[in-house]
Amino acid sequence: MHRRRALRNLTGTALSLGAVPSFAKLMKDHDPTAPVEAAVAALKGNINHSVCRWCYDKIKLEDLCQAAKSIGIKSIELVGPDEWPVLKKYGLTSALPWGAGKGINDGFNDPKFHDELVASYEAIFPKLQAAGLTTVICFSGNRRGMSDAQGLDNCAVGLKRLMPSAEKYGITMIMELLNSKVNHKDYMCDHTAWGVELCKKVGSDKFKLLYDIYHMQIMEGDIIRTIQQHHQYIGHYHTGGNPGRNEIDETQEIYYPAVMKAIVATGFKGYVAQEFIPKRDPITSLREAVTLCDV
């Protein structure tokens, strides 16, 4: 499932699963009876690992939860309210859930959406708090001929309306940086500098950026320096191999161990989520990616 398609429905409706392999089949190359504690102990503990649900949409959520636990992953994200109880059943959290907003294209840069967006997010904040979750994803929206300066001002106006409620419920709104060159044509929040300026205008620690390494490699590169300079405005990270959002291995241009070391060096205590399209057995791919990023 393409991510744009997955993000059309932000109300928590379960994803279409199609042909679903069993957990035993998923774990055929591993030992599903091995203690979860052993997997967690094998990790260094410097990175909180998460995984994006949409990349594994053909796997039942309960099976993905079991696989995640066997690897040492603590979170499955980009899931809505209907799926949060399943995560809780397996002792997992959702480091970046959804459940509000109008999707990627229609966001805070257009004032005509502000009333609807404010109502939507104010409705989800208490649900997030009740579920023990502390973040929610949001988007700038597409430009549609609007200047970046005007969009920046518009976003700040809309988001400031939500900050008192976000602060009341302890929820951080996290706006994703996406590339407008390949995947999300016309999307406004497509450069780190623009997102950082928005954070400054909003002026609350309950608004931060999702620094998607794949997207920002396409738009601007200079990943490590950018993280070092602007880490205080970043609340979450996503991975992905470039070109093609492929597996984060030697076939692509980003060297993730170095990027992860740079993230750890900033003192970051949030989550890093795997968001690539597995080309092989999906759990093998996921396990290897977590190992690669566990610096």
Averaged over 29-55, what is the pLDDT? 74
Q: What is the pLDDT of residue 42?
A: 85
Buried (b) or exposed (e) across 119-142, using 16+ Cβ within 10 A?
ebbbebbebbeebebbbbbbbbbb
Q: Which range is least confidently modeled, 28-42, 125-139, 250-264? A: 28-42
Give percent above pLDDT 90 in the chain. 85
Q: Is the pLDDT of residue 272 over 90?
A: yes
Residues 77 and 97: beta-carbon distance below 8 Å: yes
Q: Is the pLDDT of residue 147 over 50?
A: yes
157: Cα separation from own chain's centroid: 24
Question: From residue 292, how far is each of 255, 256, 269 by CA, in Å?
Answer: 10, 7, 18
Q: How confident is the model at residue 104 (pLDDT cuts 50, 70, 90)?
A: very high
**Edge-first strand listing for the sheet containing 207-212:** 75-77, 48-52, 271-274, 234-238, 207-212, 172-176, 135-138
Averaged over 159-170, what is the pLDDT? 98
Q: What is the pLDDT of residue 41?
A: 55
Q: What is the pLDDT of residue 46?
A: 97
**CA nearest 188: which of 213, 161, 156?**
156
Q: Is the pLDDT of residue 49 over 60?
A: yes
Give percent above pLDDT 70 in the chain. 86
Q: What is the pLDDT of residue 99?
A: 96
Q: Is the pLDDT of residue 23 over 60?
A: no
Averaged over 126-131, what is the pLDDT? 98
Q: Is the pLDDT of residue 267 over 50?
A: yes
Q: What is the pLDDT of residue 221?
A: 95
Averaged over 280-292, what is the pLDDT? 97
Q: Is the pLDDT of residue 38 over 60?
A: no
Sheet strands (E) in 70-162: 75-77, 135-138
Q: Is the pLDDT of residue 90 over 80?
A: yes
What integer best gives the mean pLDDT of the chain?
Answer: 90
Domains and CATH numbers, the chain: 3-12+21-293 (3.20.20.150)
pLDDT digits (tens, 9 = 90+) for 217-259: 999 999 999 999 999 999 999 999 999 999 999 989 999 999 9
Q: What is the pLDDT of residue 239?
A: 98
Residue with tokens 């997997």: 39
